[in-house]
Chain A
């Protein structure tokens, strides 16, 4: 006998998953458009403007172009792993969204250890890259995979310790709890007491998503396109989708962990009272996420690329010691009552 109740829950969950996945996919599409436009204007050119009004249909043109192209399997490549790799990259990038609270009730899976879950899934993405580099049977791809593996391991540690500081400050390990612990306006968010950690986390996030200036795994001018040099068509599109989904995820997480998520920056400003500006809501969360997404593009237009060993040095010799020190500092701040949990 089929349990109608369970079936209904299942259908409802699948629906909710689609409600999250479809906007994310669309955001990715328009993030690529925004990237080209924003960087275009930063570089005194106009970016895409031919497909549709203001080039707004450009992402779809790109998607269709990629979908209709042949996926070329290189000679002597491992067929199974070659096709598996993009899936391995995209899966975690989307799965992590399950626990992201868009506002205090808009959340797919409100689990109590959601931060751990996110940390685990963002680390999973690198397997896709390593497998892709290995299965391609190309020296460039192989170098890209090796670089990526080393880089992600290093930055995962710094990122983890930065998150430990957030945990100490919030006294909670669920993303919802962390946001709720930041109540009280812009100066009560964790970016201020944990400022170095905020910077470290965002730098590690940029490094984890393989974006400029840490894009050594792709390394356009050195190893051509790194791990996905042999990928074409839809398989490449999946890597692309995963990269951008990860960037949006990191932006969203930064907004949640350090910038008060859906909370309003003007919560305790007396003049505003209970107007729109002072009330928390999904709008604030999206605005903050978009701001951090913009930072990714800004970095890309501004910085040269680090060399592989310099990235390692930055990670191990600068970021990790700093985070370890700040764990102690954060603990002291909580002990001395400088950080109020959910004031």
Chain B
């Protein structure tokens, strides 16, 4: 009898379920995966190296492009690292804005996740439902920063500018006019905060919609329950963070355990799974969206009552206003210095991490007292999660590969960096 050999298959980088440019070399025994070997580097853009050759502020925009579905959280880690070295204080209002936008980002990320994970497992409708809500939050990004994805909104010291008093309205098109136009603009009559308020009031119902489609669906449960089980001890050993870790039942959330921004002032719960399988991680992420909504509502309440500056008056780091520059020579000089050579960060090294939607996103920064970082290292949660791919996948079937890529919620932008 002929010797039966295993079958090697190339999964990606051009594969509809590879979430970007992941390439998996799968060794298959029939449909069962014996070994999975992830190959990365196809989206490598040398972000860390590029940051070494630019003034500090120039790299904020690069951070958006790492994990391009949780943009502002990446910025947050980077600007926090700079703030720690500079030792500057961030105004309370800016902290609340950051908290709010971190949570908007979390919802954005989890919406994309629930949609694409559904799509990977064949449930296409939830994808489009999730994108409908994503549109609204993207509009919030656009309202504060002018960009829908790569916002570059956070700055060392605060945020680029205060929240807008008016929410931009949709314009009439061939397809949306009259009553339809009034409907899509119904939430946009007031400020950004009014818009977010309306969104949050509506959001609970939307999440219920996704859950109706998936949570109790027999097929969905068959596809996710008991798939990719990671024991809590093993999850810690593998360096999991975020929903991957909490899905296994380990209580660890930087927002609670090492609070930053205003997370110690808002009320929310850490969501924990029990079994550590794909289904629990799904439930954790769904519930995290509801918790994020809670945090956003609290932030809205605070921000409405506390107007104030969103940047410190430290003109070594923060540009002065245009008006001041017209009559103040010193402001003029500050402006010139800031926009030609940037600012000098004292010598030292630091690590700042935030609870990004995917897990702990950290920035390790070394400064040699120049206007550019000496070294930046970014700790991407996706990289750590992806390295467990072989362990999680071995013994599962080919159809579980997309489920596993989905549940790890990897984005190649931050893995390759």
Interface residues of A (CB under 8 A from B): 39, 42-46, 49, 139-140, 143, 147, 212-213, 215-216, 219-224, 300-310
Contact = CB atoms under 8 A, between A and B. Distances in A.
Nearest to B7: A139
A304 B397 contact: no
A64 B217 CA distance: 39
B219 A222 contact: no
19 contacts: A43-B125, A44-B129, A49-B175, A139-B7, A220-B16, A221-B16, A221-B17, A221-B121, A222-B399, A302-B125, A304-B217, A305-B121, A305-B123, A305-B223, A306-B219, A306-B223, A307-B223, A308-B398, A310-B222
B219 A301 contact: no
B397 A309 contact: yes
Nearest to B17: A221
A215 to B, nearest CB: 7
Given A221-B16, A222-B17, A222-B401, A304 B121 contact: yes
B15 interface: yes
A76 B398 CA distance: 25
Given A216-B399, A221-B122, A308-B399, A44 B132 contact: yes
Contact of B120 (A221, A224, A306): A221
Contact of B400 (A147, A219, A304, A307): A307
Contact of A307 (B16, B132, B222): B222
Contact of B219 (A39, A223, A224, A304): A304
Contact of A303 (B16, B122, B129, B399): B122
Given A212-B122, A221-B17, A305-B122, A143 B214 contact: no
Contacts of B214: 304
Contacts of A140: 9
B402 interface: yes
B398 A222 contact: yes
Interface in B171-230: 175, 213-214, 217, 219-220, 222-223
Contacts of B397: 307-309
A24 B254 CA distance: 61
Nearest to B401: A222
Nearest to B30: A146
Contact of A304 (B16, B118, B132, B401): B118
Contacts of B222: 306-307, 310
B119 to A, nearest CB: 7
Interface in B80-130: 118-125, 128-129
A49 B175 CA distance: 10
Contacts of B128: 43-45
Given A220-B122, A221-B120, A304-B118, A139 B219 contact: no
Nearest to A140: B9
A44 B220 CA distance: 22
Most buried by A among B213, B217, B219, B397: B219
A310 B226 CA distance: 14
B37 interface: no
B129 A304 contact: no
B185 to A, nearest CB: 17
B9 A222 contact: no
Given A43-B129, A307-B223, 18 more contacts: A42-B125, A43-B125, A139-B7, A139-B9, A147-B31, A216-B399, A220-B122, A222-B399, A224-B16, A301-B125, A303-B122, A303-B219, A304-B121, A304-B219, A305-B121, A306-B222, A308-B31, A309-B31
A221 B398 contact: no
Most buried by A among B125, B222, B223: B125
Contacts of B220: 304
A283 to B, nearest CB: 32
Nearest to A222: B399
A289 B120 CA distance: 31
Most buried by B among A44, A215, A220, A222: A222
